[in-house]
Amino acid sequence: MSLLQPFNKLPSLNTANILLVENEEQFQQSLADALVEESSVIVNVRLAKSLPVPTENETSRPRIDLVVFIINLTSELSFESAEASLKYLDCGYFLGKVCFLVTNARSVSVPAERLDAVRKLAALFHCPLLFVEDQTADGVASAAERLLTILKVAAGHVPITTSLYMSILAQCTVPPDIDQPSFD
């Protein structure tokens, strides 16, 4: 069983590599197109349905700077698949090189427990949790922009900042009364 390692390869010049993991394989396509258009940095996007990644690609795969798990809140399978994929990452990734992206959080059919469960998961691993909108072009563009800020830090392109510093600022926290029933 091969874990994805954060530092076992050499980085390339002016390049940032990102891995998008999504069970439905829908949003990652449009997000990848938006990310690749960035001009100041060469962005390589790898797409996967779940981890572990196949070992055949080991030699051709560059060093992954940021792993993003895309969870569709309306589907329980999406959350479970993301949770199951977490164990195939080396623990070095959890120092700021993992990010959770959540779509459809405003949908009526989402049970509140699932959102709480995602928040607890993100807080447990000290990772940032972003809420994005995937249906419109504007939503995809703004999601790509936010991801690029985190990616540039994780790839070391921003001076005086490392992903560990960023994670202290950007990590998800749960309020202490998250398990109490809310008033609505």
Partner 1 sequence: MGDATKRLLQRLIRRTRIQMLKTTLEKWDRLTLAQRQSMVFIQSKSAITEKLLSICEENEWTVKHIAELEMIHVMDNPNQGMWYAFRLMDPEDDAHSVELMQFKEQFKSLLHELVRHVSVKIKKHADEAIWIRIAWGDGFSQPNHLKPTYVVHYLQTPFVFVTSITSKQKPLLSQALTVSTRHQDLKNANLSGRKLTAIRDLLMQQYPQVFPTNFPGHTAENNQMESNPRRVKEQAGLEADRLRMAHKAFGDGMLPELESAVYELETKFNGHANGTMTDREQPFRCVVKFTSTNLLESLRQCASSGIVSTVTPLFSSIPRSGKNYFVITNKSHGSSSKTSNITEPQILDSKD
Interface residues with partner 1 (CB under 8 A) are 19, 24-25, 32-33, 36, 42-49, 53-54, 56-57, 61
Sequence-separated (6 or more) residues with CB below 8 Å from residue 21: 28, 48, 49, 50, 51, 67, 68, 69, 70, 82, 85
What is the spatial distance between Cα 133 and Cα 124, in angstroms, rounded to a whole number?
24
Tell the smallest beta-carbon distance from residue 47 to partner 1 (Å).
Answer: 5
* Residue number with CB closer to partner 1 (97 or 119): 97
* Residue number with CB closer to partner 1 (21 or 122): 21
Sequence-separated (6 or more) residues with CB below 8 Å from residue 91: none
Residue tagged 């936010």 (tokens): 146
3-class DSSP state of 1: coil
Tell the smallest beta-carbon distance from residue 148 to partner 1 (Å).
Answer: 14
Tell the smallest beta-carbon distance from residue 104 to partner 1 (Å).
Answer: 18
Tell the smallest beta-carbon distance from residue 109 to partner 1 (Å).
Answer: 18
Tell the smallest beta-carbon distance from residue 77 to partner 1 (Å).
Answer: 8
* Residue number with CB closer to partner 1 (47 or 95): 47
* Residue number with CB closer to partner 1 (57 or 107): 57
* Residue number with CB closer to partner 1 (42 or 124): 42
For residue 50, which of 80, 75, 73 has the smallest C-alpha distance? 80
* Residue number with CB closer to partner 1 (43 or 132): 43
Tell the smallest beta-carbon distance from residue 57 to partner 1 (Å).
Answer: 6
**Separation of first and last alpha carbons in the chain:** 45
What is the spatial distance between Cα 135 and Cα 161, in angstroms, rounded to a whole number?
33
Which tokens sit at 11? 């980085």
